[in-house]
Chains A and B, each alone.
Chain A
Amino acid sequence: MNENCPDGAKGPGEIHTGSTKINFAADTQRWMEVMAERGWTVPNWPKEYGGGGLSTEETKILYEEMLAIGARAPLVNMGTRMFGPTLLEYGTEDQKQRHLTVIARGGAPWCQGYSEPGAGSDLASLRCRAEDKGDYFLINGQKIWTSGAQFADWMFCLVRTDFEASKHNGISFVLLPMDQEGVTVKPIELISGSSPFCETFLDNAIAEKRDLVGQLNEGWTVGKRLLQHERSGQGGLGTGAQRSRPVGVTIDLEMPDVLNDYVNDPSIAPELRDRVIDWEMKSAAFRLTQKRAGEESRDGKTPGEATSVFKLYGSTLAQDRQDLIVDLMGHQGVGCEDETFTSDETGAARSWLASRAVTIYGGTNEVQANIIAKRVLGLPD
């Protein structure tokens, strides 16, 4: 890896998302390609689907070696993290051959057609309709919060295929290409000024029958498993490089360098010092627990309900961190323009606004707490 990792793929920076609609820096592109050749973009997937065929233990070593040379993750997207692992479990041989091999070589970014305007926390009440037209489904409805839909080639989508059945039993999990007449994408502008989420309108959109994952009307099971993969990787605004990094066990101030100036300011309120160290401890304990959970699932078990534990706490930590950063900055933490404020300071302000989303997307903290209460603690309905 040391010989093949370009300098431009080391340290903080751009990570390949597999999008065919974005031009990546040459080093980002090259790093993704050399890793894909060995299947190391998705090291623990089977070789026949473009993976590296590595065991969990070997994958861990690979990540440790990447960390040792400061290499970023070669490829991170919904395909590598969420959809791929789900398809490995539920997909047909044909689906795996067609989709996983493309994901593994960074050839197609995916987006997630889950939430609808009327189906957020209560996702299973979704109403997007799919009609059986023989060899394809005809889909009509609206999806919302589709992250990266404007850069995606494919969407995995929950649709209602039976309006008579109870709400969990009439849902199917289908795959559809984004570049078709029936699909319209509109970015949603957020309070941070960026638009990572979209509205996606489906007007007579088409999904082929061979792209139905799992059984007809049994898509909820598939969709829930994908959410577990999603939540196990969530809980932060961190980059893919941080996510795939092996969990450290040393306490380190995971704050941008600029913050040292604020933390070492003798006039800083003791209460803020206390919060900094409290956050550091919780963050370290969080990593330790993640590591233990990783060790416990060394036998290759897929993530279960406990992923809600990590989603809930990780997202809270990420949000608390942004709160703490702007609190430390005081009036320097409210900037939008570069004249009075440094770019670090305006960046902190934007991240603070963006962090409002982490406790909401992927299932709100309140929904995660409900799942934990029911599935982990066994509390009654």
Chain B
Amino acid sequence: MTEYTQDQATFREVVTKFLQAKSTPTDVRRLMASDEGYDADVWQQLCQEVGLAGTHIPEEYGGFGFGPVELGIAAEEMGRHLYCGPFFSSAVMAGYAILNGDSEANKQKLLPEIAAGSTVATLVLDSVNDPNQVGRQLRVTGKELDGTAPIVTDAHIADVLLVVASGEDGLGLYSVIADADGVKISPQQALDPTRKLSRVAFSGAEVQKIGHLSESGLNKTWDQISVALAHEMIGGAQQLFDSTLEYTKVRVQFGRPIGSFQALKHRCADLLLELEWAKAATHHAAFCLASGQEPETASMAKAMASDIYMEAARAAVQLRGGIGFTWEEDTHLWFKRAKASEVFMGSPHTHRERLLSLMEEAS
């Protein structure tokens, strides 16, 4: 664990300022009601002016060459402001998958476009619960891909699909043009409308192989995505906690602010503690990724961030009383994102088991 540098703190301020202006609850509500789910102009500004999509992409591929810590900062602020756009799918998921691959040609071609936001990519996994389950549905024979991935983020707006599938020589990473023949992308109505999901079915779609994917390669990508997602989640949890605390200070019942009641004080104190530990675990995991140490901290971060985000979400509704479960109040936007993120890239239980297995292997 290291502390953030002054440059990293400044970077956070820049990201925050941009999102405060461009991702207000009003924006979120407008975008979640649209089919695309994002604002193309804001996405271009985010990539071109702030350069966020290239945060973790090396300079030789058109990025800024920062690492998981800076990417975490960006993700945390996006979670806090519930940014709607393909940042997570394209920059984080597809970006990491390509970076970890061994195809120099694909890095040269795809990464600068992803960093610039001119290409939107996403990562297609046939299991978003457990890396051990990946590759059971999607199969490549020759140059043709078959099978279905039920949960794919932002596929409906993607130009390129990066697909993890089983080939003749084990797992591989493949790229598929999103509008190619044999690719059927069906947007799904899901609980969380702020991150759009699609079902993606392949029937003989033509693939280009990017490279072989080892078990450790897949797990590394999974870890990197999990840590970025954990940052997004603690950002969301912090937002829920802050707004709920504020609400208990101003909402008056029985002639006094409800935050003066001990039952609520204790719940808020408990939330603060859980949130602080989850933040510590998450930030630590990013520093570990950056230094290549303690890979098990990724699962720790994802499990703890998931638990506190849901816990903060439950409290945010409960402590607001009736207004908390209305459409008009903004809490449900984060509440739904909390649940969708909790089960994406592995539930807390899956990550706890994964962590325990790693510890058992080590001992």
Contacts and interface: CB of A to CB of B under 8 A. Distances in A.
Interface in B107-122: none
Contacts of A372: 269, 272-273
A309 B273 contact: yes
A57 to B, nearest CB: 14
B353 interface: yes
B295 to A, nearest CB: 11
Contact of A292 (B266, B270, B280, B355): B280
Contacts of A32: none
A286 B274 CA distance: 10
Contact of A288 (B248, B281, B303, B353): B281
Given A282-B277, A372-B272, A288 B1 contact: yes
A379 B248 contact: yes
Interface string B247-263: 01100000011011010
Contacts of A285: 277-278, 280-281, 300, 304
Interface stretch (A74-82, A84-92, A94-102, A270-278): A270-278
Nearest to B273: A313
B356 A313 contact: no
A274 B277 contact: no
A110 B130 CA distance: 55
B297 A251 contact: yes
Nearest to A379: B259
A298 to B, nearest CB: 10
Given A277-B355, A379-B248, A379-B249, A289 B269 contact: no
A280 B277 CA distance: 12
Contacts of B294: 249-251
Nearest to B270: A369
A284 interface: yes
Contacts of B280: 285, 288-289, 292
Given A253-B359, A285-B300, A278 B260 contact: no
A370 interface: yes
Contact of B284 (A277, A288, A377): A288
A281 interface: yes
B308 to A, nearest CB: 10
B355 A309 contact: no
A381 interface: yes
Contacts of A288: 1, 277, 280-281, 284
Contacts of A376: 269, 272
A366 B267 CA distance: 11
Contacts, number: 107
B260 A380 contact: yes
Contact of B265 (A264, A286, A292, A379): A379
B242 to A, nearest CB: 10
Given A250-B294, A309-B276, A380-B259, A277 B269 contact: no
Given A379-B260, A380-B249, A380-B259, A284 B281 contact: yes
A15 B238 CA distance: 42
A250 B355 CA distance: 12
Contacts of A7: none
A379 B267 CA distance: 12
Contacts of B363: 253, 260
B300 A281 contact: yes
Contacts of A264: 360
Interface string B277-313: 1101100100000000010110010011000000000
A285 B297 CA distance: 10
Contact of A278 (B245, B269, B352): B352
A280 B3 CA distance: 23
Contacts of B269: 312, 368-369, 372-373, 376-377
A337 interface: no
A260 B359 CA distance: 12
Contacts of B284: 249, 288
Contacts of A295: 3
Nearest to B284: A288
B349 interface: yes
A249 B1 contact: yes
Contacts of B297: 251
A251 B353 contact: no
Contacts of A286: 277
Interface in A208-260: 249-251, 253, 260
A38 interface: no
Given A277-B353, A312-B273, A381 B281 contact: no
A369 B265 contact: yes
B268 interface: yes
A291 interface: yes
Nearest to A306: B276
Given A285-B277, A285-B304, A288-B1, A370 B352 contact: no
A266 interface: no
A376 B266 CA distance: 12
A193 interface: no
A269 B256 CA distance: 47
A284 B278 CA distance: 10
Interface of B: 1, 3, 245, 248-249, 256-257, 259-260, 262, 264-266, 268-270, 272-273, 276-278, 280-281, 284, 294, 296-297, 300, 303-304, 349, 352-353, 355-356, 359-360, 363
22 contacts: A251-B297, A273-B353, A274-B349, A280-B359, A281-B303, A281-B355, A285-B281, A288-B277, A288-B280, A288-B281, A288-B284, A289-B280, A292-B1, A313-B273, A372-B273, A376-B269, A376-B272, A377-B245, A377-B269, A379-B268, A380-B249, A380-B257
Interface of A: 249-251, 253, 260, 264, 273-274, 276-278, 280-282, 284-286, 288-289, 291-292, 295, 309, 312-313, 366, 368-370, 372-374, 376-381
Given A280-B355, A288-B1, A379-B260, 14 more contacts: A251-B296, A251-B355, A264-B360, A276-B356, A280-B359, A281-B304, A288-B280, A289-B277, A295-B3, A309-B273, A369-B265, A377-B265, A379-B268, A381-B260
